[in-house]
A and B are shown apart, each in its own frame.
Chain A
Amino acid sequence: MATNVLPRPVQRLIDEFARLPGIGPKSAARLTFYLLRAADDQAFDLSDALRELKERTRFCSVCFNITEEDPCLVCEDLGRDRTLLCVVEEPLDVVAIERSRAYHGLYHVLHGAISPVEGVGPEDLRIAELVERVQKGNFKEIILATNPTLEGESTALYLQRRLAGLNIRLTRLARGLPVGGDLEYTDEITLGRALEGRQEFKE
Chain B
Amino acid sequence: MHIRHLSLTNFRNYGRLELDLPLGPILLHGDNAQGKTNLLEAIYYLATTRSPHADQDAQLINWIAAQSEEPIVVCRLVADVAAAAEKRQIEMRLIQEVNLSGRNGGRTFRREALVNRRKVRLMDLLGKLQVVQFLPEDMQLVTGPPGNRRRYMDITLCQIDPIYCRQLSQYNKILEQRNALLRRLAEGRGKRDVLPIFTEKLIKLGSEIFRRRAMFLANLARETHRIHYEELTEGKETVRLGYLPRLQENGGRRADELIALEQLGEWLQSHVDDADAVQARFEQALAAALPTDMVRCTTSVGPHRDDWRFWINGRNLASYGSRGQQRSAILALKLAEIHWMTKISNETPVLLLDEVVAELDEHRRALLLTYIKELHQALLTATDPGMFTKDFLRQATTMAVENGRVIPDKI
Contacts and interface: CB of A to CB of B under 8 A. Distances in A.
Q: Name B's interface SS.
A: helix
Contacts, number: 57
A11 to B, nearest CB: 15
Given A121-B184, A154-B201, A157-B200, A116 B194 contact: yes
A182 interface: no
Interface residues of A, number: 22
Given A26-B101, A117-B176, A121-B184, A150 B170 contact: yes
Interface in A109-163: 114-117, 119, 121-123, 150-151, 153-154, 157-158, 161
Contact of A189 (B101, B163, B183, B193): B163
Given A24-B101, A116-B184, A157-B200, A122 B177 contact: no
Contact of B194 (A18, A26, A121): A121
B368 to A, nearest CB: 35
A188 interface: yes
B31 to A, nearest CB: 46
Contacts of A122: 191, 193-194
B33 interface: no
Bin chain B's interface residue count. Answer: 20 to 34
A150 B101 contact: no
A114 to B, nearest CB: 6
A25 B99 CA distance: 11
Given A119-B184, A121-B184, A189-B163, A154 B177 contact: yes
Interface string B170-213: 10011011101101100001110110111011000000000000
Interface of B: 101, 124, 162-163, 166, 170, 173-174, 176-178, 180-181, 183-184, 189-191, 193-194, 196-198, 200-201
Interface of A: 18, 24-26, 114-117, 119, 121-123, 150-151, 153-154, 157-158, 161, 187-189
13 contacts: A115-B177, A116-B180, A117-B180, A119-B184, A122-B193, A123-B191, A150-B170, A151-B177, A154-B198, A158-B193, A158-B197, A161-B196, A161-B197
